[in-house]
Amino acid sequence: MTHVRLPAAISALLGVLACSCAGAQDQPLPGIPPKLQAPAGQTLVLTARAQGFQVYICSADKADATRWHWTLKGPEADLFDAKGAKIGTHYAGPTWESTDGSRVVGEVLAKDDGLDPDAIPWLLLAAKSHAGKGSMDAIASIQRVFTVGGKPPGLDCSAAENGEVSRSPYAATYYFYAKEGGAVVAH
């Protein structure tokens, strides 16, 4: 059985996100906490709005096999530019893959609860690896901000739900940064 959790306000907030990121490519939006700022010497080169799901699986706790939790399997989302054109996908790794075939895998450096207590946290990630030539091959840092939804259906699940999958709709804005002088192919 697959669970899908639909936050009541997600449709309205997706529209707000689509509008709010339109001018963000030249300068990050205000309100990003200091601990999530991209490192000095990096420049914002790409802004994408993600829309999709955070996918969770019910599994036994590694430390206590009598307890069961929803564990993040990974995101499944499409990435869009400010005009609404699909420019890539986001999936487990965490990986961002451009329609040009290039991709970047990140690792979390810092977290912040963000503005919405019912949404997944905001993140700063560092590029861990790259593949392909294109818009993602020079990315050094990624910010996930302005999140909507995406939380698991609850902290605990049961042995009867072992292996079941829950798909929680989410949206977020991703800012991609390159080191100064890093060549980035635009979409």
Residue 33 falls inside a structural domain: no
CA distance 72 to 53: 11
Residue 187 falls inside a structural domain: no
- Predicted TM-score (pTM) of the model is 0.82
- The pLDDT of residue 183: 53
Beta bridge partners of 106: 127
Residue 65 falls inside a structural domain: yes
Residue 145 falls inside a structural domain: yes
Residue 15 falls inside a structural domain: yes
Q: Give the range of the structural domain holding residue 125, as residue numbers without chain letter.
A: 2-23+43-179
- The pLDDT of residue 166: 96
Residue 30 falls inside a structural domain: no
CA distance 107 to 122: 13
What string of DSSP letters covers 4-24? E---TTHHHHHHHHHHHTTTT
CA distance 44 to 35: 17
Please state the domain count of the chain. 1
CA distance 25 to 12: 23
- The pLDDT of residue 182: 60
b (16+ CB within 10 A) / e for 105-135: bbeeebebebebeebbbbbbbbbeebeeebb
Residues of the chain short of pLDDT 50, as ranges, are 1-28
Residue 74 falls inside a structural domain: yes
Beta bridge partners of 163: none
CA distance 81 to 22: 8
Contact 114, 154 (CB under 8 A): no
Residue 35 falls inside a structural domain: no
